[in-house]
Structure formats: C-alpha cells, structure tokens
Amino acid sequence: MTETNAPQRNGHTAAAGDTDATYWEARYAEQDRIWSGRPNDLLVREVADLPSGTALELGCGEGADSIWLAQRGWTVTAVDIVSTALRRAAGHADDLGVGDRVTWERVDVTAEDLPSGQFDLVCMQYYHSPAATADSREAVLRQAATRVAPGGQLLVVGHAAFPTWLAEADRPDVHLPTTAEVLSGLQLPDGWTVETDELVAREAVSPEGEVGTRADSVLRVRRGD
C-alpha cells in the first residue's frame, strides 16, 4: 500500500519562529498542488462501511478526504489553518459536483474553538507539524472528542515511525505518538469503545521517488449511544 496523499515534493523546512500558519502557507506556496488528490487509504478502510452522516475533518489540506466523504453522502465540515489550501479544496469540490456538501472553514485548531455542534464522524489524518507540540496536539484531540455525537466515531491516523529513508536521529525534535499515547491523551470518559487500535506497515515513496516502508497508527473509538 502506498501513501496516496503524500506530498509530491517537500522543499520547505521549518524556520525559527514559524507558526503552523506560516509554515504551511509557505509549503502550499511551493507549487499549485502538494498532495495527490486521492483520499488516504486508512480513512477509506475505516469509514467505507460506516453509514453516512455528518463529519468534521481537522486539517483537511487540499480536501481529498473531505471530498471523498461528500461523494459517499456525508455532509462535511472541513477545517484547516491555511487559506490557500481551503481555496484549492473548495475549487476541487465544486469541480467534482459536491461543493454543496462541504463547508470549508479556516480555523487554527491549536488556538481557536472547533466548529460547534456534534458530528457522526470526527477525523484527523496525519496531523504532524513542526510548530505543533505534544500538549497542543492532545488539547486538539480532547476538544475533537467533545464534537463526537452519541454513537459517533473519532478516527485519528498518524505516522508511527519515520520512513526507511529517514533516520529517526535526523529529526530528534519530532515525536510520533503511539495509539496508546493518543488514547491516553484523549482522557475519554466511560462509555467509549475502541473499534480499531492498529499499527499498519506499508510501502511509501519519498519526495525524491525512493521506495521504502513506514508504519502508521490507526485509532478509531466510538462514543456510546
């Protein structure tokens, strides 16, 4: 399995003082499209058999996951910190005829409240940013859990290890949390059920085209009715 939503190129590195907004705006400014335009495989695997309803995606980027959900009948609220990404996402959704099923909102999830309401699915795929901290990430996820409707699901997919072409020692500033750490950080009350807790090894391709492997973590939890 390849990483279907991987960056096509990554020439931008974080600079001292970068915030999430400045880092990612610079990333998106590098080229007209930085992601593949296809939904993430693990989102598809985990959600394809769920009944459609309302969904909230955090960090939607150029919109591939939210658009896929909309195409399957979901009504989606998609948020990201990058205005450039949201404009592209809205254009892609309109081109594919599902623009009326997705609401795009610019939100800094580490500093602002998430969209109000409750959703049948709340998901966050690969929320890794040089400007994010473990504490800020956990705070975002705890708030995300409060947006899950009774009977709804929270899906968190992330990188669990560095790819084989990148040594962990090269990025000592980056911690990739395990599913156990994610679950602990959520501080969920009684009434939640773990539906998926898995480490998935897969094939991946570097920005330079080198084929290797990496592992991703998948945590899906369901709130009680």
Predicted confidence (pLDDT) per residue in 42-76, tens digit:
999 999 999 999 999 999 999 999 999 999 999 99
Percent of the chain with pLDDT over 90: 60
Residue 37 has what pLDDT?
A: 67
Q: In the numeric block, which tokens belong to residue 28? A: 């998106």
Task: Of 7-21, 25-39, 73-87, 197-211, give the range with the top mean pLDDT.
Answer: 73-87
Say if CB 148 and CB 50 are below 8 A apart: no
Percent of the chain with pLDDT over 70: 80
Say if CB 118 and CB 148 are below 8 A apart: yes
Q: What is the pTM of this model?
A: 0.84
Q: d(Cα 126, Cα 135) in Å, to the nearest integer?
A: 16
Q: How many Cα atoms sit within 13 Å of 102 on the Cβ side?
A: 32
Predicted confidence (pLDDT) per residue in 135-178, tens digit:
788 999 999 999 999 999 999 999 988 888 876 656 666 788 89
